[in-house]
Structure 1
Amino acid sequence: MKEIIWFVIGVVTLSVIAGLLQPSKKKKKRRNSNSKKRTTKKPVNTEFNRASSSCRSDEVILTLPLDKMTGVEFERLLTLYFRDNGYTVKEVGVGGKDGGVDLVITDKRGEKTAVQAKCYADHNKVQVMTVRELVGAKRNHDCILSLIVTTSDLTGPARKEADQFKVDYWHGGLVDNKLRSWGKWTPSNRKVKTTTTKKDQSSSKTVSNINCSCGASMVKRKNKAGAEFWGCSSYPTCRKTKAI
């Protein structure tokens, strides 16, 4: 009889314990399901990726400002520019496997130039290694000349290296000037100063026949003291001046 009583007590005890444990399991399952739902949400990256390998159509590229182009689109823009200026262009670096050369341009005399294009932000300058890669890689394409085209500039050591190995280079101000002179590149969101005075408008029309070392024309300007001087028209990208 005692054995039966202890057996009944044991069954009741086990059922009570099981009842207490069940809600906690359900809570754990709910917590786990909620945590899974929370972790599945991924933030959407809406920032412009300059390093993207995507390339929009030529019509779109011709309306894009340089800071809204990917590296591939900048190379394509240069291809269109050089072709319109009488060069035969071979797009070597399509897909990112350029080996130090993006374009090989050939003039009417048959002279080949290896071109390395760098679509960089202003603070990101071309390093020495890029110059060295271009010097070594141009031989693989039977090129005599070499050219670096960048939307920013070269570092000081990179400029010295380029001068030493006779590598020509176009910095951001010169690139912008050449593309605008071409006429087909018309960036849609070009910033226009709306607060210029009549004095500014009259002085900006006074353009000299003198060219800046960057290739842009010189414009007559005035300093704070009222003295006139020649300043580069691509200011503030280029800040070079000359006395009148």
Structure 2
Amino acid sequence: MTKKDKDQLGYSIALIVFLLLIMVRNFFSFIPIMYFIGGALAISFIVGESVKAMIPTKKTKRKSTKNKTKNKETTKKKTNKKATNNAPKKNHNQLRCKKEVMTLPFEKLSWREFERLCYYYYESKGQNPRETGEGADGGIDLIIYNNKDKADEAVQIKMYAKHRQVDVKIIRELNTAKKNHKCMLARLITTSDISLAAMREAGDNRIDTHDGFWVENTLLKWRDQEAKRLKYIK
């Protein structure tokens, strides 16, 4: 029995004893009323406390504040981890509709959508872009018609992080790939920078280059204007 239950039982027994003594008051009429009531209260209290003392108290385990705080923090970490795992992840192979490619924040586009954005750009310039379907394996992504030189041009598109430079190896691979597609010209588009060695290699092999500056100041500005023209945005 808990301490609270024992206290309630003791009070109840004391009250019962007091009422019983009041009921037998007539047998003790020779005792003045004030003394009788005082004695009845004292006897009731003693009986109640005696009963409480005879009943063992049930011990309850008390969790320490330290353990409680630790458990709370552990639960919070598990909840946050679960929320993180359930959060939607960027699908790098995703290819959404034209409206989304033209209006979504650029950092949310996948590499395939970046390639498709370049496709839309050259399509708007009347350069008849064709996708090769070679994907992200280092091959050619687009073939466009170069209106100035009246020839097909192989285009390779690299969606790199800004800190990652295009090196000379990429340019050499592009030079080989353009020949495989029977193109005299080639073009590299990247979201990052291009090393000096890669720039020299490109110049020696008739390969035009567009870096992150071109993407931000030409491609994305065109995208905003085109999205307004198509009424995708106001």
Question: TM class, shorter-chain normalised?
Answer: 0.5 to 0.7
1:101 equivalent to 2:140? Answer yes
* Alpha-carbon separation, structure 2, partners of 1:106 and 1:156: 27
Deviation at 1:45, TM superposition (A): 7.1
1:161 equivalent to 2:205? Answer no
TM-score (norm 2): 0.55
1:75 equivalent to 2:115? Answer yes
* Alpha-carbon separation, structure 2, partners of 1:77 and 1:143: 22
Any conservation in 2 of the 1:67–1:121 contact (CA below 8 Å)? no
Q: Displaced runs of 4+ in structure 1, greater than 6 A?
A: none
The structure richer in strand per residue is 1
Corresponding position of 1:54: 94
Deviation at 1:129, TM superposition (A): 1.5
Query: 1:168–1:95: structure 2 CA closer, same or farther, 3 Å change rule?
Result: closer
Where in structure 2 are there 5+ consecutive unaligned residues?
A: 1-77, 229-234
Deviations 1:77-98 (A, max 9, x none): 000000000111111145435x
Corresponding position of 2:168: 128
Q: CA RMSD in A?
A: 2.6
Answer 1 or 2: higher relative contact order, Cα 8 Å, separation at least 6. Answer: 2
Query: 1:66–1:138: structure 2 CA closer, same or farther, 3 Å change rule?
Result: same
What SS class does the counterpart of residue 88 from structure 1 fall into? coil
What SS class does the counterpart of residue 74 from structure 1 fall into? helix
Corresponding position of 1:170: 210
Any conservation in 2 of the 1:54–1:70 contact (CA below 8 Å)? yes
Query: 1:170–1:47: structure 2 CA closer, same or farther, 3 Å change rule?
Result: farther
* Alpha-carbon separation, structure 2, partners of 1:141 and 1:131: 15
What SS class does the counterpart of residue 153 from structure 2 fall into? strand
Corresponding position of 1:44: 85
Q: What are the residue-to-residue correspondences of 1:218-237 with 2, within 5 Å? A: none
1:64 equivalent to 2:107? Answer no
Query: 1:46–1:146: structure 2 CA closer, same or farther, 3 Å change rule?
Result: farther
Q: Which amino acid aligns with 1:106?
A: Y
Q: Which amino acid aligns with 1:44?
A: N
Query: 1:46–1:127: structure 2 CA closer, same or farther, 3 Å change rule?
Result: farther
What SS class does the counterpart of residue 184 from structure 1 fall into? helix
* Alpha-carbon separation, structure 1, partners of 2:86 and 2:201: 38
Q: Which amino acid aligns with 1:105?
A: I
TM-score (norm 1): 0.53
* Alpha-carbon separation, structure 1, partners of 2:227 and 2:173: 29
* Alpha-carbon separation, structure 2, partners of 1:69 and 1:137: 26
The structure richer in helix per residue is 2
Any conservation in 1 of the 2:129–2:144 contact (CA below 8 Å)? yes
* Alpha-carbon separation, structure 2, partners of 1:45 and 1:131: 40
Highest CA radius of gyration, 1 or 2? 2
Deviation at 1:127, TM superposition (A): 1.9
Corresponding position of 1:184: 226
* Alpha-carbon separation, structure 2, partners of 1:102 and 1:151: 15
What SS class does the counterpart of residue 113 from structure 1 fall into? strand
Deviation at 1:126, TM superposition (A): 1.3
Q: Which amino acid aligns with 2:144?
A: I
Where in structure 1 are there 5+ consecutive unaligned residues?
A: 1-37, 187-244
| Identity %, equivalent residues | 37
What SS class does the counterpart of residue 82 from structure 1 fall into? helix
